[in-house]
Structures are given as structure tokens and as C-alpha cells.
Structure 1
Amino acid sequence: MGRGLPGGGGAGPESGPHPAEGRGGVRMKGRQAAGVRARGRQAAGVRARGRLGGWLADAALILYFVFALFPVAWMLILSLKPADQLFSTYFSFTPTLESYRTVLGDREGIPFTRFFGNSLVVSVGAVALSLVVGLPAAYASARLRFKGSENLMFTLLSFRFAPELTVIVPLFVLYQKLGLFDTYVGMVWVLQLITLPLVVWIMRSYFADLTPELEQAALLDGYTRTQAFFKVALPLVKPGVAAVSLLAFIFAWNNFVFPLILTSNEAQTVTVGALSFLGGDRPKYNLTAAAALVSVVPPLLLALTIQRYLVRGLSFGAVKS
């Protein structure tokens, strides 16, 4: 009774949703909505934790920069103070450039500008010698593997790890006998003992990252191994050369022990010469601060000049296979 015809509009038992099925669909939709809300809360929590982590990282960076720049700011303030206000407990003072005029004018009987020039000469000389010797050595070490090459590289790098005070006494005796004491040649030679291992070790990784097919193609074109080095490999690692040159210059410029022991006056560098203002009965802290800040200028200018190459050189080696 009451069965609908096929194709007709009759409403049989099959025509509408079963009550149980309707309740199941409602429960399923409810679970889906609850899942969406849970995922939304989870995503919001992740975003909140991400923002909190970003704030903490920013705060840590700010604290680090304050900690790192505080000595520089203190020296700057000290260098701008008049001599009669050096130990004043008041923060307010009348800034003056008299300390810089005294330092750069070679007053007080201290030839600071000569010390500054000495540092430029011996640092540039040490870096140049290290590049001339170290770049071919790094390339050969990366391409011409032989038994014991890794041990040789580690031995070379161990020279950089050795404390300077362990070799300073024999070097002092040797320099006295060879006439290298207080000379530019002697300082360039001893500073390249610091910079050469750095150049070889870092540039070796750059050359090792180069795909050998580039040099093999150059060799097939008739290039010699030396020509392949200068015309193919070396241009590809220019960012690395810029980065390692800056690092080597900073190491040579900042060295204190070797100039302190192996020089007396003629070849004395700025790191030792800046301390000359602390001598005497009345140490001149404002002049020492001014000399220290002036000595920071060359590495800073060099870093700004080669900044484009420096960022690339520190971020990647070269073309990888």
C-alpha cells in the first residue's frame, strides 16, 4: 500500500534520510568543526610561540650588541673628554678633539703616525706573501691528493694553534743573529707564519668545492695546469679570496706579542705604539683611547670596501659539482 511508481513522485521509505543516518551526519559535522577549531587553536599557538621566539632572539641580539659595543662607546667618550675631566663622575662634559690632534700630530714625543704606517706596511706585506704562497698551495692540496696530504695540512694548521709565547724566545735569538730584529722584513716574515696557515686551510675548501670538469675542459683546450689555475679556478673563488684576505689582514694587524718582542722602535706597530701613551708618571688614558680608535679604522674600511665579496665569500665556497 502506498508504494511509489518508478519515476513518479511517490514518497516511499527509500525517498528520505533515515533518522539514524541524520544523527550520524550531524555528529560527523560536529567532529569536523571541532577538528577545525582545534587546528586553528594549534596554529595560533604556533604563531604565538614563533612571535615569542622572535622577540627573545631580538632581545638577545640587542643585549649582545650592547655588551660588545659598550667598550667601544666608553673609549669614544674617553677620547672626547678633556684631560682635566677624565675622572669626573658627571656624564656631561665638553667634547673636544684635542686627543686626536695630539695623537695624529705626533706630540708627546710618540711617533704614532709612523707606528700606524708600520702596521699598514707589515700587515699588507704579510697578507700579500700569504696569498702568493698560500693560494697555489691550497689549490695543489685540493687537486693533487697524495699519501699523507691530510697530515701535512693538519701540521700546517697546528702552527696556527701553537701559542706565540712558545716560539717567541727562539725567534728573538734567531732574529738577533740574522739582523732581522726591528725590521720590516722580519715583521712581515713572522706575521705570515700566522696568516699563511689561515689562507691555505680556508682556500683549500673553496678549491675543493669547484667542479673538476671546468679545469679538465680547460686542459683539453690546451691550457696548462698553471693556466687553468689562474684563468679558471682563481676567478671562481674571488669571494673566498676577499674574505680570507680580510681575515688575514685582521690577524696580522691585531697581533701584539710579535711586535712587542721583535721590534723596538723603527718597525714597531700601532698595537704596541698605542700603549706608549700609558707610560710615564701620569698615564694619558684619553690619548690611549684615541689611538685605539684610530687603529680600528683600516680593518673597518677594508671590510666596508670588500663587503660585497665578503658576504658571498663567507656564505658559499664556489660552484659546486
Structure 2
Amino acid sequence: MDHMSPVEKGLRGIALSAVVLFFMFPIFWIVLMSLQTNETILRSPPSMVFEPTFRNYIAIVTGKLDSNVASMDITFMRNLWNSILLSAGSVAVALLLGVPAAYAFARHKFRGSEEVAFTLLSFRFAPPLLVLLPLSLYFQQIGLANTYIGLIWVYQLICLPLILWIVRGYFEDISPDLEHAYRIAGHSWLSTFRRIALPLAGPGIAAAGLLAFIFAWNNFIFALVLASADKQPVTVGALAFVTASGIQYGQIAAAIVLSIAPTLALALYAQRYLVEGLSLGAVKG
């Protein structure tokens, strides 16, 4: 039962509101910037009173960026599509490879299994520049340079270790007795994996997939080096707004709003799985 006094509840509410305001204010300010012209954004002192405009969003959607000095074509919507394709494709491949591997590491202990698992995890923490040069040369030799397949393959350095280690923990929290009982009833290992292990670890797999999607979406360096402009994601495509004639702050803000919208919508839609998945195994009886 909650025994807090009204004063304590009030102070707690104020503290929570302050924390939410602190973390949400940058997003709120970016949204406001996206509805202003460059002249309004750069005025001093800044003011929250202005006449909103959708010119920045129109410029991004139509691909026509107009500045005070020159006009140029941008391909931000194509970059947005590239981000969706690369992130979704990378997570799909990582789930296809990582979930069975995580189950194997959780259920079948063998000599050197921890070393192999840790080696796979170390790929996640390796500096990207460490592998970019050899990968670039290797991709040119096998014809994967500047291709979606090549980028999805490289993105496995981000997604696969993350999914492998997170999902492995969820499988380890599932009692093996349930699977043994199902196997004794005459079912195969594959049927046990599909009908027992996967449904029980479903929230954890969903949480790991969502986190991997966000990490892949936010990646910058791989696509910058290994892809040309027509295959680069939004993280690289945003550089187009920094031109010789100046920085288009309004268009950058609108691009940020559009780029975070898919991951924010996905997180809100899957928040039940995310909370349930991340809390799975936190309390053990």
C-alpha cells in the first residue's frame, strides 16, 4: 500500500514532471524549429512566439531546398526509405541467425562456448574504423560495394551480437523442464523450439529486435564510407542540409522530426513488449 502523504505525492509529481520536461524539451524545441524559417530561428534573443510554416517539410518531401543564395535538390525521402530498408532487413537477418544461436548457447553448453559468445559480443564494441578499410576492399572484390545486401551484412556487426546476447539471457530464464516434458511426449527438437521456447521468449525477442532496429537506424559511419548517396540512410543524408551557402536549420529540424518519427511510432506501438521483455528475468523467485 502507498502510505505517502499528500505533500510527498505532490513533491514526487513535481520531480517526475521536471525529469520528463528535462528530457522532452530538446524534442519539443526541435519541433518548434521545424516550423520556423531560418531568419526566425537565428534571431536574437530567441522567442517562442512566431508564425508557423510548413515550408521546411514541403521542401523535404518535394526534394527542393531553397536558401537565400541558391536552390538545390535533396533526396531525403529516399534516404528515409533507405533507413527503413536497411534497418528492417538487418534486424530480420539478425533475428533469423541470432535467435537459434542464442538458444543453442543457452541450452547446449560445450567447451569454449563462453569464449565464442564473448568473441561475438566483442564485435559490437569494436571501433567501426577498425573494420571499415578491410571491409571496403573486400566488398569491392566480391561486388558488394555500394549495395543494400552489403550494408545489411555489415549492419550485422551492430544487430547480431546485441540480439544474440539479449535473447540468450531470456532463453536461460526459461525452465528447461518445460522443454524436456514436451520432448518426452514425442515431439522433435525443432517443434519444441518453435512451440515452447519461442513463444515464452517472445517478449524478449521483440525487445531485442526493437533495440537492434534503433541501433541500426542511428548508425552513421558504415553507410558514410560503404555507400553512395542513393543508398545512404537519413543519418548520412542530413549532411545535405549543410551547404556552402549556409546551414538550413529549419530543414535540419524537420528532417530530424521525420527521421525519429518511425522509431518513435514503433517504440510506442511495441512498448508493452519492450517493457515486458526488458523486465523478463529481473525478478526470480
Partner residue, 1:97? 54
* Alignment equivalent of 2:154, drawn from 159, 170, 190: 190
Does residue 204 of the first structure (1) align with residue 161 of the second (2)? no
Partner residue, 1:79? 34
**Deviation of the 1:51 alpha carbon:** 5.8
Q: Percent identity?
A: 47
Q: TM-score, normalised by structure 1?
A: 0.79
| Structure 1 counterpart of 2:168, one-letter code | R
C-alpha distance in structure 2 between counterparts of 1:263 and 1:251, whole Å: 18
Q: Give SS of 2:211's match.
A: helix
Instruction: Give the unaligned 5+ runs of structure 2.
Output: 66-72
C-alpha distance in structure 2 between counterparts of 1:244 and 1:294, whole Å: 24
Partner residue, 1:124? 88
Note the 1:152-163 alignment, pairs <5 A. Answer: 152-163=116-127
Instruction: Give the unaligned 5+ runs of structure 1.
Output: 1-45
> Which has the higher mean CA deviation after the structures are superposed, 213-222 or 139-148?
213-222
Does residue 139 of the first structure (1) align with residue 103 of the second (2)? yes
Partner residue, 2:188? 224
Q: Give SS of 2:231's match.
A: coil
Change (3 A) 1:47 1:308: closer
Does the CA-based 8 Å contact 1:210-1:318 persist in structure 2?
no
Q: TM-score, normalised by structure 2?
A: 0.89
C-alpha distance in structure 2 between counterparts of 1:100 and 1:178, whole Å: 40
**Deviation of the 1:60 alpha carbon:** 4.7
Count of aligned pairs between the two proteins: 274
Change (3 A) 1:47 1:67: closer
Partner residue, 1:276? 240
C-alpha distance in structure 2 between counterparts of 1:99 and 1:218, whole Å: 58
Partner residue, 1:30? none
C-alpha distance in structure 1 between counterparts of 2:86 and 2:231, whole Å: 9
C-alpha distance in structure 2 between counterparts of 1:75 and 1:319, whole Å: 39
Q: Which has the higher contact order (CA 8 A, sep 6+)?
A: 2
Partner residue, 2:64? 107
**Deviation of the 1:58 alpha carbon:** 4.9
Partner residue, 2:256? 292
Note the 1:1-40 alignment, pairs <5 A. Answer: none
List structure 1 segments (4+ residues) > 6 angstroms apart after TM superposition. 318-321
Q: Which is greater in Rg?
A: 1
